Copies of this chain bind each other. A is one copy, B any other.
Amino acid sequence: MPHYKAPVEDMMFLLRDVFRVEDVFAELPEQQENDLETIGNILEEAGKFCSEILYPLNAVGDIEGCRLENGVVRTPQGFAEAWKAFSDAGWGGLSAPTDYGGQNLPRTVQILVDEMLSASNLSFGLFPGLTRGACEAIEAHASQNLKDTYLPNMISGVWTGAMALTEGNAGSDLGLLKTTAVPRSDGSWTVTGSKIFISSGDHDMAENVIHLVLARLPDAPAGTKGISLFLCPKVLVNADGSLGAQNAISVGALEHKMGIHAQPTCVMNYDGCQGWMVGEPNRGLAAMFTMMNAERLFVGVQGLGVADASGQTALAYARERLQGRADDRSGVVPIIAHADVRRMLLSMQSFIEAARAMAVYTALEMDREKFHPDDAVRQRAGENVALLTPVIKAALTDFGFEAAVAGQQVLGGHGYIREWGQEQYVRDARIAMIYEGTNGIQAQDLVIRKLSLADGQPVRAYFAQIHQTLASAAMDSYAAALAEPLRAALDLLEGVTARLVSGDLASADDRNAAAVDYLRLFALVSFGWMWLRMVLACAAPGKTLPEPRVRHKRAAATFFMQRVLPQAAALTQQIGAGAGSIMALPDEMF
């Protein structure tokens, strides 16, 4: 029963009909040669790899998990072979620069492959995801020598990457970290400290693991302005590129987790290991954050991917499971006949498809930011990405988890049983709400930093885009019916935004108290916007989506506006209550 098939047709609908990406790529000198047929083939191939190679390892990886044997992490059976097949096919270098062996494909394509990876095997998907993140940090900030030494092997998958930020007493507040770095005479550094929650910290799938480690110089200022970034390889690399001695890096323990059991989440000890600084002294956090947008988009898409995998199983089950009667005259029916089951399926689908559209929209902005020849366009696109990054990360993982819980519920008792797969999705999806900055931290980032970014121009520009779509809704009767509730919700969002930026809710406590509800409101309006765009695309001349999918899009869009978007008013009211009732009670009386 459990299965996963990459939704390539729906993905191509977004690329072709909704976002017309060929027109966008035509403006980007390095991306002009991408055509939809090639992209479609890539997505088909990626989907095949994920369904045939990674998906069958998902349940077995969960059961077997990783083991720490004599200081070395052993991944579950089949993972090393899958990693080799993945690397040999070049999937690790999809969007990496050609200078170091990558294919330089747009982020827009990468993000759809990321969704497939996450849907078919979240634990596995973290290996390439973190390797790519480490590569992007190295590419943006490291010396040419470090780039030449490390990037080709990381992009080809001969080596993998890991990012070592969190310590026992420094999680959301990285300013508290204590790992130290002391200079050596040869220009390298001695890094000493212990880190926790290090995904892909060690494993047996590749010859080397390249750690990017945050640490403090001896004279560093306190807090976040005294943190530097170091590249510390598990195995030292000789001048000729061959592997040398083991570096003083060891695995302290494997964490016992709720899910992603096939992903080695390590306690890592850097016992005076040798490292090389990446970027400027005391500017390590900034270097890390240059690739944080991409990583957070990746994590958001994890929530989306798992939700889709759960939704596919739930739909198949709902069509096959016979239980109950639709009315007194009929015999036993598949449970998809029952309105409440259909409601659960539509609640999942109306999230999944809008979330995928948001991810593509944001990735396309990242492509503009990276590749567009016009500075002003790049700047605006970058600000829009900065604005949307916390929304994508938090909303896609929050709603994605809720969707996975719904997908479990559709299966009734079977949803709780391991063999049916749905419970693993819930356990796996849960981590995405926590790591890479908790969803609470994302919400703070949105409200406190991003709304005020560039004097609020990005958020105003974003809302203006939604108004623009609303203005064109009248051209299609289906779209016109959706526009009214969306316009009302957007009004609420704009109103509460003004209050948070400089109105009666702009105090630190009010913003802090409002943040999570505000992000959810922002996401609901964004999903509604995506639905309106999708329905308009269904009416556009030359649209390629087959008629049954068009009907599905219209039904899911209507469901979203009628059955999900009404929450916008409640969230607005909750935010409007301010922090009073939250801050009044002394800590000890909780």
**Chain A interface (Cβ within 8 Å of chain B)?**
166, 169-173, 176, 196-197, 255-259, 315, 318-319, 322-324, 327, 332, 334, 336-346, 349, 401, 405, 408-409, 412-413, 415-419, 423, 426-427, 430-431, 433-435, 438-440, 443-444, 508-510, 512-513, 515-516, 548-549, 551-552, 555, 558-559, 562-564, 566-571, 573-574, 577, 579, 581-590
Judging by beta carbons under 8 Å apart, are B551 and A589 in contact? Answer: yes
Q: Given that A343-B516, A577-B562, A590-B315 are contacting pairs, would A409 and B426 also be in contact in the complex, using a CB cutoff of 8 Å?
A: no
A520 to B: closest C-beta gap in Å? 12
Which residues of B have CB within 8 Å of A510?
A: 339
> How far does the alpha carbon of A454 sit from the alpha carbon of B439 in the complex, in Å?
47
- Residue of B338, B423, B426, B509 near A512 (CB, 8 A) is B338
A417 to B: closest C-beta gap in Å? 5
Judging by beta carbons under 8 Å apart, are B570 and A555 in contact? Answer: no
Which residues of B have CB within 8 Å of A413?
A: 166, 171, 196-197, 434-435
A124 to B: closest C-beta gap in Å? 18
> How far does the alpha carbon of A439 sit from the alpha carbon of B413 in the complex, in Å?
12
Q: Given that A171-B323, A173-B332, A343-B513 are contacting pairs, would A408 and B430 also be in contact in the complex, using a CB cutoff of 8 Å?
A: yes
> How far does the alpha carbon of A418 sit from the alpha carbon of B394 in the complex, in Å?
23
Judging by beta carbons under 8 Å apart, are B552 and A581 in contact? Answer: no
Best-surrounded residue of A338, A341, A549 (most CB of chain B within 10 A):
A338
Which residues of B have CB within 8 Å of A401?
A: 405
Q: Which residue of B lies closest to A573 (CB)?
A: B566
Judging by beta carbons under 8 Å apart, are B434 and A416 in contact? Answer: yes
Judging by beta carbons under 8 Å apart, are B340 and A258 in contact? Answer: no
Q: Given that A339-B582, A430-B426 are contacting pairs, would A327 and B508 also be in contact in the complex, using a CB cutoff of 8 Å?
A: yes
Q: Which residue of B lies closest to A513 (CB)?
A: B339
Judging by beta carbons under 8 Å apart, are B588 and A548 in contact? Answer: yes
Q: Given that A349-B590, A569-B569 are contacting pairs, would A434 and B419 also be in contact in the complex, using a CB cutoff of 8 Å?
A: no
A438 to B: closest C-beta gap in Å? 6
- Residue of B548, B559, B570, B583 near A566 (CB, 8 A) is B570
Best-surrounded residue of A342, A444, A574, A586 (most CB of chain B within 10 A):
A342
Q: Given that A342-B582, A409-B433, A417-B255 are contacting pairs, would A563 and B577 also be in contact in the complex, using a CB cutoff of 8 Å?
A: yes
Judging by beta carbons under 8 Å apart, are B581 and A559 in contact? Answer: yes
Which residues of B have CB within 8 Å of A405?
A: 401, 430
Q: Given that A173-B323, A332-B173, A570-B570 are contacting pairs, would A339 and B579 also be in contact in the complex, using a CB cutoff of 8 Å?
A: yes
> How far does the alpha carbon of A170 sit from the alpha carbon of B322 in the complex, in Å?
9
Judging by beta carbons under 8 Å apart, are B563 and A574 in contact? Answer: yes
Q: Which residue of B lies closest to A172 (CB)?
A: B323
Best-surrounded residue of A344, A346, A413 (most CB of chain B within 10 A):
A413
- Residue of B412, B563, B564 near A171 (CB, 8 A) is B412
Q: Given that A258-B416, A413-B171, A418-B257 are contacting pairs, would A337 and B552 also be in contact in the complex, using a CB cutoff of 8 Å?
A: no
Judging by beta carbons under 8 Å apart, are B585 and A562 in contact? Answer: no
Judging by beta carbons under 8 Å apart, are B439 and A409 in contact? Answer: yes
A51 to B: closest C-beta gap in Å? 20
Q: Given that A567-B567, A582-B346, A590-B315 are contacting pairs, would A417 and B256 also be in contact in the complex, using a CB cutoff of 8 Å?
A: yes
Judging by beta carbons under 8 Å apart, are A426 and B340 in contact? Answer: no
Judging by beta carbons under 8 Å apart, are B345 and A257 in contact? Answer: no
> How far does the alpha carbon of A571 sit from the alpha carbon of B197 in the complex, in Å?
39
A447 to B: closest C-beta gap in Å? 10
Judging by beta carbons under 8 Å apart, are A409 and B438 in contact? Answer: yes
> How far does the alpha carbon of A319 sit from the alpha carbon of B577 in the complex, in Å?
25
Q: Which residue of B lies closest to A324 (CB)?
A: B173
Judging by beta carbons under 8 Å apart, are B551 and A585 in contact? Answer: yes
> How far does the alpha carbon of A566 sit from the alpha carbon of B323 in the complex, in Å?
35
A445 to B: closest C-beta gap in Å? 12
Q: Given that A256-B419, A337-B587, A413-B196 are contacting pairs, would A172 and B324 also be in contact in the complex, using a CB cutoff of 8 Å?
A: yes
Judging by beta carbons under 8 Å apart, are B415 and A434 in contact? Answer: yes
A349 to B: closest C-beta gap in Å? 7
- Residue of B345, B516, B587 near A334 (CB, 8 A) is B587
- Residue of B172, B337, B431 near A416 (CB, 8 A) is B431
A-B contact pairs, 19 of them (CB 8 A): A172-B323, A172-B412, A257-B417, A258-B426, A318-B590, A340-B443, A340-B516, A342-B590, A343-B513, A346-B582, A349-B590, A405-B430, A409-B433, A412-B438, A548-B588, A551-B586, A566-B569, A566-B574, A569-B570
Which residues of B have CB within 8 Å of A349?
A: 590
Judging by beta carbons under 8 Å apart, are A258 and B315 in contact? Answer: no
Nearest 8 interchain pairs by C-beta:
A339-B512, A562-B577, A258-B423, A256-B418, A339-B513, A566-B573, A555-B585, A570-B570
> How far does the alpha carbon of A443 sit from the alpha carbon of B344 in the complex, in Å?
13
> How far does the alpha carbon of A562 sit from the alpha carbon of B510 in the complex, in Å?
14
> How far does the alpha carbon of A172 sit from the alpha carbon of B323 in the complex, in Å?
7
Judging by beta carbons under 8 Å apart, are B339 and A583 in contact? Answer: yes
A428 to B: closest C-beta gap in Å? 11
> How far does the alpha carbon of A579 sit from the alpha carbon of B340 in the complex, in Å?
9
Q: Which residue of B lies closest to A350 (CB)?
A: B581
Judging by beta carbons under 8 Å apart, are B573 and A257 in contact? Answer: no
